[in-house]
Chains A and B, each alone.
Chain A
Amino acid sequence: MAIEIEQPTVGLSKVAVSETHGEDSPYFAGWKAYDEDPYDESENPSGVIQMGLAENQVSFDLLEEYLEKHSEASTWGKGAPGFREHALFQDYHGLKSFRQAIASFMEQIRGGRAKFDPDRVVLTAGATAANELLTFILADPGDALLVPTPYYPGFDRDLRWRTGVKIVPIHCDSSNNFQVTPQALEAAFKDAEVMNIKVRGVLITNPSNPLGATIQRSVLEEILDFVTRKNIHLVSDEIYSGSAFSSSEFVSIAEILEARGYKDSERVHIVYSLSKDLGLPGFRVGTIYSYNDKVVTTARRMSSFTLISSQTQHLLASMLSDQEFTKNYIKINRERLRKRYEMIIEGLRNAGIECLKGNAGLFCWMNLSPLLKTQTREGELTLWKSIIRDLKLNISPGSSCHCSEPGWFRVCFANMSEQTLEVALKRIHNFMDQRKTETN
C-alpha cells in the first residue's frame, strides 16, 4: 500500500473550485429530497413526486413500436455487418445519413416553413454541450451573453462555467406574459455597458423553458433587429420546437431568416436536441445549426470533445429518415402533450391556481404569488420548502430560473403517467382546500 504523505493538496484549477457548476443551488435541493424518498405507485405511494424534471415520457410506445417493426434496420442486423464501420467511425462531420435525418426532422417540425442544409448540422453530445461550445466560439472570457429571464437554470453552468463568459439578464415580467421587449433588450445592453462588459450575443429559448410558451413572431423580429443593430450574435435554443402543442403556433428564427432572404444571417445559430421532443436524453444527441460558415467549421472541430456515439447516430439515422414515422410521431406527440397540459391546467384551476397561458413544452408556469407570506425571494423559497416537505412534490422555484417576480413555479407534467399526475393534482387540491379552511 502506498504510504500516504501529509502535505497541502496541490490545488485544482479555479474552474474546478468555483461553484459555477451550480449544484449548490436550491434547484438541486428538491432533487435530493426526491432521491431520498422517490414516489412509486405501489412501493412508495406517499413519496416525493418528481415534477422538476422536464422529460418527455408520453410517446415512448411510438418509438418502441418502430423498433419492433424495424429491428433489422436499426441494429446491425444478423451477424452485425456494418458494426465495424460504425465502431470505427469517429469523423467529426458525423454520419451523413444522420445529419440528413436531423435536418429533415427539423424541417418537418417547422411544417416545412424553413429548410435546413445537412452540411450546416454540427453534432454534439447533447444541447448542454452545444450551448457551451457555441459560447466558446462566440465570446471571450469576461464577455457576456444577454439571456431573457426566467431562464433554464442549467445555462448558468453551460454558458459560464468553463468558458468564463457572463450572463446579463434581460428582465421580463408578468405584465405582458414575460415577453421580451425592445426596452428590456436595450436596458440589458446598457447594464452590461455600465459594468464594462462586452456583449457578444443574445440567447433565447423558443419555445421557452420555463414559461412553456412560444415566442411570438413580432418579438422574434424585434430581437433579430436588435442583434443586427448591435452587430452581435443570436443563439436560438429550439430544443422544445417539436413539443409545441400545435405546429402553427411555433415560429422558428429560421422562418424569419428565410422571409428576410437570409440577409445578414451569419449572426444566427440554432441549438437543437432530441432529448425533449423524442424523449431520448440518455442518448446525448445535440446539434448546432449555424448560418455562419466559420462557426460551422470551428464548431465541428470543437465537437471532437463531445461527439455522439456512432452507435446512436446509426440507430437514429434510421429512425428519423423514416418520414412516415416522424410525421406520425410529431403529430401524436403534440396531441398527447396538449392533452396532458390541459389536464394539469384544469386540475390546478379547480384548486384555485392559475398558470401562464402556455402552448408548448413539458411544463407549465404556475403562479403561487397569492400564497406567499411576503412577495420576496425568501417568501417564495419558504413556500417551496413547504411544498416539498408537506405536499411531497418537487417543483422548481422561479428564483432558480432568475425570475424577477417571486411566486412563480415551473411544474413538469410529461415525465410521469397520468395516474401519477392525478395523485399530484389531488395533493395540490387537498393542500389548497386546507388553506381555505385555515384562512376561514
Chain B
Amino acid sequence: MVFKLNNQLLSKIATGNGHGEDSPYFDGWKAYDEDPYHPTKNPKGVIQMGLAENQLCFDLIQEWLKNNPKASICTPEGAEEFRDIAIFQDYHGLPEFRNAVAKFMAKGRGNRVTFDPDRIVMSGGATGAHEMVAFCLADPGDAFLVPTPYYPGFDRDLRWRTGVQLIPVECESSNQFKVTRKALEDAYDTAQLDNIRVKGLLITNPSNPLGTILDRETLKSIVSFVNEKNIHLVCDEIYAATVFSQPDFVSISEIIEEEVECNLDLIHIVYSLSKDMGFPGFRVGIIYSYNDAVVSCARKMSSFGLVSSQTQHLIASMLSDDEFVEKFIMQNKKRLATRYSSFTNGLAQVGIKCLKTSNAGLFVWMDLRRLLKEQTIEGEIALWRVIINNVKLNVSPGSSFRCTEPGWFRVCFANMDDQTMEVALSRIKTFILKNKEAKMSVKKLCWQGSLKLSFSSRIYDEIISPHSPIPHSPLVRART
C-alpha cells in the first residue's frame, strides 16, 4: 500500500499563502520575466519599473574596488586575511564592520547624530531584519500598526512565520498622505475594539512608495503617540541616503536626542545597504535598537541570518574610507535628483502629476486617477493591466501597497540607464496622447448627443484591442 504524502503533511505556514506571492504585485513581474526589455535584443519588451533598485552609482564603486584590492580576500593583496575571515562566524559581527556601518549611518544623516557600533545587529537584509524585530517584539496574534500606502513585502516579512498581524493606518492624498494623529488613534481604537493587542507602530522614513520624508512635527507626534500607548516604534530608514533635495531627512535618532519625552526602550531602527548603496545582493541588513534586551535577543537570532564575513570585510573596508563615502553620498543624491527631475518633467509634459512633496527614494508616486474608468480598485487594476500589456511597463499599482485611494502607481526610475528611461517616457507619452485623442473623439460624439452608450468603456476597448467588438460602430468611424 502506498502512503501518499500530501499537502497536509506540511505545516500551516507552508501551505498557507503568507508568502504573499499570489498578490497582483507579482503578475507584473511575471510579464517582465517573460518579455524583458533590452535596448537591442528586445526593444519592445517590458521595461521593469517595479523594482526599487539604485543602479546609478556603480561606476564609483567599481573604481574604488579597482583601487583597493585588499578589500577583497580573493586578491593577492587581500588573501592573507582569507583564513581569519572565513572562520569568523561570531554573531557580534566584525568590529570593523560595525564601526564602518555606524559611521556610514551617521554620515547618511548629515552627521547630526552618532550611532553606537555595539547596538548594531546583523540580519539577512532588511527583509530578515523586519522579521527578526517582529519575533522579538510581538507574539502570534499581536499587531503592528502600519501607515498606508506601505511596501507590500511587509505583509510577508512581518506576518508569515511570526503570526503577527498588520493594521493599516490610513493616509490620504488630501494632505499628501501625511500620518496624522487621528489616523493613528483610529487604527489603535479599531484594534482595541477587535480585541487585538497592538505591540508597535512601523513607519518607513523616507517612505516607500511615496518617496516623501516625515517632517519633524509628525515624527514628534508619532513619538508621543507610542510613548502614550506604551508600544514599540520601528523605523525603517533604508532609504535615508536617497533624500536628494530639500527638506533634509530627519531620522528618528535625531528626534529622540531632542527635548522629547521618550522611553528609549521603545525605539528600533531597521537599516540596510540595499537601497542607499545599491547592494541588495549582499544581504546587509541592520537592526539598531535603543533597547538592550532587544539588542541581545536580536543578536542571538541573527544566527539565522548573519552577513557573510567576506561581505562584512569588504563593506568594512569600503565604508571606512571617509573620502569615498562622502563623495559617494553626494554623487548619489545628485544623480537621483537629476533622474527624478528628468523623469517628472517628462511626465509633466503630458500632464501626469506625481506626489509633489516627494524628495527621496528610487521611485515616483504617480497620480493616474483621472485615467481610471471607475474610481475603484478594479478600475485601477484594469488600467494597470493596460500599462503592462500595452504600454509594456511594469509599474506597481497603489492597491498592492494597500493605498485606500485608487489610481496611484509607484514607478521606479533608478534601476535603469538614461536611454531606457527615455524609452519608458516616450511610451508613456504615446499612451497618454492616444488616450487624449480617444477622449477627444468621444467628446465630439457627446456633443452630437445621440448616443447613450457608456463611452469610457469604449475607449478601453479601443486601447486594449486593435479590433473593436463592434466593427461598424460610429466610434470606429470617428477615429478613422
Contact status of A75 and B75, CB under 8 A, knowing A283-B310, A298-B14, A309-B283: yes
If A80-B65, A137-B11 touch, does A302 touch B3 (CB 8 Å cutoff)? no
A137: B residues at CB distance < 8 A: 10-11, 13-14
A279 and B304 form a contact (CB under 8 A): no
Interface 9-residue window, one of A55-63, A113-121, A360-368: A55-63
Whether, in the assembled complex, A89 has its beta carbon less than 8 Å from a beta carbon of chain B, the answer is yes
Q: Could you tell me which residues of chain B, from 185 to 229, have a CB within 8 Å of some CB in chain A? A: 199, 227
Whether B260 pairs with A306 at a CB distance below 8 angstroms is: no
Residue of B11, B55, B79, B300 touching A84 (CB-CB under 8 A): B55
* Residue A324 CB within 8 A of the other chain: no
Cα–Cα distance between A130 and B262 once the two chains are bound (Å):
39
Which of the candidate stretches A10-18, A186-194, A369-377, A392-400 sits at the interface with the other chain? Answer: A10-18
Any A CB within 8 A of the CB of B232: yes
B76 with A71: CB separation less than 8 A: yes
Of the candidates A16, A87, A228, A305, the one whose C-beta lies within 8 Å of that of B281 is A87
Q: Are B280 and A88 in contact (CB under 8 A)?
A: yes
Given contacts A10-B230, A55-B87, A128-B304, contact A3 B259 (CB under 8 A): yes
Q: Say whether, besides A60-B86, A88-B278, A307-B124, A1 and B139 are in contact (CB < 8 Å).
A: no
Chain A contacts for B138, CB-based, 8 A: 13
Check A2 against B135 for contact (C-beta < 8 Å).
no
Q: Could you say which of B55, B62, B262 has the most chain A C-beta atoms within 10 Å of its C-beta?
A: B62
Q: Is A221 an interface residue (CB 8 A)?
A: no
Task: Confirm or deny: A79 has a beta carbon within 8 angstroms of a beta carbon on chain B.
Answer: yes
What's the least CB distance linking A44 to chain B, in Å?
18
Q: Verify A1–B257 contact, CB threshold 8 A.
A: yes
Does A312 sit at the interface, judged by CB under 8 A?
yes
A16's partner among B137, B262, B265 (CB-CB below 8 A) is: B137
Instruction: Please determine whether A294 and B10 come into contact, CB atoms closer than 8 angstroms.
Output: yes
Nearest-Cβ distance from residue A5 to partner chain B, whole angstroms = 5
Using Cβ atoms and an 8 Å threshold, which residues of chain B touch A79?
A: 62, 66
Residues from chain B with Cβ under 8 Å of A433 in the complex: none
Question: Does A67 reach chain B (CB closer than 8 Å)?
Answer: yes
Q: Does A171 sit within 8 A of B, measured CB to CB?
A: no
Chain A interface size band reads 35 or more
Do A305 and B227 form a contact, CB below 8 Å, given A60-B86, A87-B281, A315-B74? no
Q: Interface with A: B125-133, B173-181, B358-366, B445-453, which one?
A: B125-133
* CB interface residues, A 279-299, toward B, < 8 Å: 279-284, 292, 294-295, 298
The number of chain B residues with a CB under 8 A from chain A is: 87
Do residues B309 and A282 form an inter-chain contact, with CB atoms below 8 A?
Answer: yes
Closest beta carbon of chain A to B322's beta carbon, Å: 21
A76: chain B residues at CB < 8 Å are 65, 72
Give bound CA distance, A261 to B17, whole Å.
32
A141 to B11, CA, bound (A): 9
Tally of A-B residue pairs with Cβ under 8 A? 261
Q: Determine how close the nearest CB of chain A comes to the CB of B260; give it in whole angstroms.
A: 6
- Is there a chain B Cβ closer than 8 Å to A138's Cβ? yes
A306 touches B263 (CB 8 A): no
Is B19 interfacial (CB-CB < 8 Å)?
yes
List residues of A (140-168) whose CB comes within 8 Å of B's CBs: 140-141, 143, 157-158, 161-162
A281 near B278 with CB under 8 A, answer: no
In the bound complex, do residue B262 and residue A4 qualify as a contact, i.e. CB atoms below 8 Å apart? Answer: yes
Q: B417 to nearest A CB, angstroms?
A: 12
Determine if B11 and A90 form an interchain contact, defined as CB atoms under 8 angstroms apart.
no
B309 nearest CB neighbor, chain A only: A282
Chain A min CB distance to B204 (Å)? 18
Q: Whole-angstrom distance from the CB of B6 to the nearest CB of chain A?
A: 9
Which B residues lie within 8 Å of A3 (CB)?
Answer: 259-262
Q: Which residues of B contact A235 (CB under 8 A)?
A: none
**Cβ contacts under 8 Å, A279 to chain B:** 86-87
Check B258 for interface membership: any CB of A closer than 8 A: yes
CA distance A162 to B137 in the complex (A): 12
Determine whether the beta carbon of B14 is less than 8 Å from that of A294.
Answer: yes
B283 touches A308 (CB 8 A): yes
Task: Check: A7 CB closer than 8 A to any chain B CB.
Answer: yes
B54-113 interface (Cβ within 8 A of A): 55, 58, 61-62, 65-66, 72-76, 79, 82-83, 85-89
Contact B260 A89 (CB under 8 A): no
Contact at A75–B85, with CB atoms within 8 Å?
no
B282 close to A125 (CB less than 8 A): no
Q: CB of A436 within 8 A of chain B?
A: no
Give the residues in chain B near A141, CB-CB below 8 Å: 140
- Are the C-beta atoms of B87 and A64 separated by less than 8 Å? no
Chain A residues with Cβ below 8 Å from B3 are 228, 231, 264
Interface centre among A89, A267, A294, by most B CB within 10 Å? A294
**In the complex, A78 has a CB within 8 A of chain B:** yes
A43 located at the interface, meaning its Cβ lies under 8 Å from any Cβ of chain B in the complex: no
Closest to A300 in B: B19
Report B111 CB to chain A, min CB distance, Å: 18
B234 contacts A by Cβ under 8 Å:
no
Per-residue interface assignment for chain A, residues 61 to 100, with 1 indicating a CB less than 8 Å from any chain B CB and 0 otherwise: 0011001100100111011110110111110000000000
Q: In chain A, what residue has the closest Cβ to B230?
A: A10
Determine if A64 and B294 form an interchain contact, defined as CB atoms under 8 angstroms apart: no
In the bound complex, do residue B88 and residue A10 qualify as a contact, i.e. CB atoms below 8 Å apart?
no
Q: Provide the bound-state CA to CA distance between A3 and B279, in Å.
A: 37
Among A79, A84, A232, the one with the most B-chain Cβ atoms within 10 Å of its Cβ is A84
If A88-B53, A162-B161 touch, whether A311 touches B297 (CB-CB below 8 Å) is no
Query: Bound complex: CA of A3 vs CA of B262, how far in Å?
Result: 6
In the complex, chain A residues whose CB is within 8 Å of the CB of B135: 13, 15-16, 162
Q: Is the CB of A138 within 8 A of B261?
A: no
Question: B304 touching A283 by the CB < 8 A rule?
Answer: no
Q: Is A136 an interface residue (CB 8 A)?
A: yes
Chain A residues with CB below 8 A from B76, complex form: 68, 71
Min CB–CB distance B478 → chain A (angstroms): 48
Interface centre among A75, A79, A157 (most CB of B within 10 A): A75
A43 to chain B, nearest CB (A): 16
Cα A302 to Cα B89 in complex, Å, equals 22
A383 at the B interface (CB under 8 A): no
B24 interface residue, CB < 8 Å from A? no
A244 to B: closest C-beta gap in Å: 22
A337 contacts chain B at the CB level, 8 A cutoff: no
B404 at the interface (CB under 8 A from A): no
Q: Is the CB of B282 within 8 A of A304?
A: no
Task: Return 18 A-B CB contacts under 8 Å, by A number.
Answer: A13-B142, A71-B76, A74-B74, A75-B74, A80-B65, A87-B278, A126-B306, A128-B303, A129-B305, A280-B86, A281-B87, A282-B85, A284-B89, A284-B307, A295-B10, A307-B283, A310-B281, A310-B282
Which of B's residues lie within 8 Å of A, judged by CB?
2-3, 5, 7, 9-14, 19, 21, 53, 55, 58, 61-62, 65-66, 72-76, 79, 82-83, 85-89, 124-125, 127-128, 131, 135-140, 142, 156-157, 160-161, 199, 227, 230-232, 256-266, 274, 278-283, 291, 293-294, 297, 300-301, 303-311, 314
7 additional contacts, CB 8 Å, given A157-B303, A284-B307, A305-B128? A9-B265, A9-B293, A60-B82, A76-B65, A89-B280, A298-B14, A298-B19
Closest 10 CB pairs of A and B: A282-B309, A310-B281, A309-B308, A281-B89, A89-B281, A282-B88, A90-B280, A137-B14, A309-B311, A306-B124
